[in-house]
């Protein structure tokens, strides 16, 4: 075989090998059709619904307060916190992630009451974890109550799109029946509230947070790839924010959205919010089969006895 033929063959083989290492958003996914829950709730002005939580100089409100950018640089990350606390509700944001290499970067949209209950707080998390040269951004969902991160119940997914190219919707539905995590209205995960796990189901009013921060110690491959500030600043954009829940009134003896005192004020107590439809169940099954690559329920080295909801 001639030398040029050998080189051509090697080049072809190299291209073929590289072609197999494709991002999940380049794979030929057919996304299921789902009801757009986000259309059921109004958008709120970000600059009126939130306060700057940290890194104030890295927060910018744009488009008359309808959009916010959060930046991470060598000096600080940044974050917003809702001005109200909520007990149950639907919480959503359109987010566009930083472009370029982003190992160690964490962009989060979540609910927490750690400021008020530092030793037994609740949390419902959407954390989007940065990538290295060869791997995609990852979305991690987590739920815990009355405890710390060590009691978390994480699940991780790849995307079926490039989350840096345009805005995509990230949503949390939380009520007395279940907590549902959705991406572009596709349910990715349902955490059901039942009598078997009342102590681990978030039950105290929480604030809503939007943040970007340095997760070098754990975010990308367990901390193997830290943030490279050569590529800073890392900027995440938030828009189309929806905060529809029962606003917690600390002076009221019973929350308006509690199980003890159900109220018409609860925006997520209707039949379309208390149970997933067949269409939504099918879409969630698709997401979990195609995109989920980690679930705490399959992590036997971590749990000697599996949590009860895993059975």
Catalytic residues: 123, 127
Radius of gyration of the chain (CA): 21
The three-point CA angle 188-194-200 to 5° equals 75
In the chain the beta strands, taken as DSSP E runs, fall at: 50-54, 59-62, 67-72, 78-82, 86-96, 105-112, 121-129, 138-147, 155-158, 168-174, 178-183, 186-192, 207-214, 234-247, 292-295
Q: Output the CA–CA distances (angstroms, integers) from residue 168 to 5, 162, 175, 182, in the order listed.
A: 46, 10, 23, 11
Look up residue 297 and give its two tokens.
């329920």
CA distance 41 to 272: 13
- Sheet of 155-158, strand order: 50-54, 78-82, 207-214, 105-112, 121-129, 138-147, 155-158, 292-295
End-to-end CA distance of the chain: 60
Under a CB-based contact definition with an 8 Å cutoff, are residues 69 and 181 in contact?
no
């Amino acid at each position: 075989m001639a030398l040029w033929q050998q080189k051509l063959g090697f080049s072809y083989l190299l291209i073929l090998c590289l072609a197999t290492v494709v991002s999940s958003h380049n794979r030929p996914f057919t996304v299921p059709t789902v009801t757009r829950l986000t259309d059921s709730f109004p958008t709120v002005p970000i600059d009126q619904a939130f306060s700057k939580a940290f890194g104030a100089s890295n927060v910018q409100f744009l488009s008359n307060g309808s959009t916010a950018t959060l930046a991470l640089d060598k000096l600080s990350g940044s974050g917003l916190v809702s001005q109200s606390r909520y007990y149950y509700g639907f919480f959503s944001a359109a987010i566009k992630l930083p472009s370029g290499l982003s190992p160690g970067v964490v962009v989060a949209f979540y609910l927490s009451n750690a400021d008020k209950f530092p030793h037994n707080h609740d949390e419902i998390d959407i954390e989007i974890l940065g990538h290295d040269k060869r791997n995609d951004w990852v979305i991690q969902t987590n739920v815990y109550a009355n405890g710390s991160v060590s009691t978390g119940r994480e699940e991780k997914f790849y995307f079926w799109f490039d989350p840096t190219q345009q805005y995509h919707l990230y949503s949390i539905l939380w009520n007395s029946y279940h907590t549902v995590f959705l991406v572009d209205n596709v349910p990715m995960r349902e955490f059901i509230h039942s009598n078997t796990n009342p102590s681990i189901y978030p039950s105290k009013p929480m604030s809503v947070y939007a943040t970007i921060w340095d997760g070098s110690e754990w975010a990308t491959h367990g901390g193997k790839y830290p943030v490279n500030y050569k590529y800073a600043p890392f900027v995440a954009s938030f828009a189309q924010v929806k905060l529809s829940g029962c606003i917690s009134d600390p002076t009221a003896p019973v929350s308006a959205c509690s199980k003890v005192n159900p109220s018409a004020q609860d925006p997520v107590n209707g039949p379309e919010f208390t149970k997933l439809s067949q269409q939504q169940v099918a879409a969630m099954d698709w997401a979990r089969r195609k995109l989920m690559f980690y679930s705490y329920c399959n992590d036997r080295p971590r749990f000697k006895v599996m949590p009860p909801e895993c059975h």
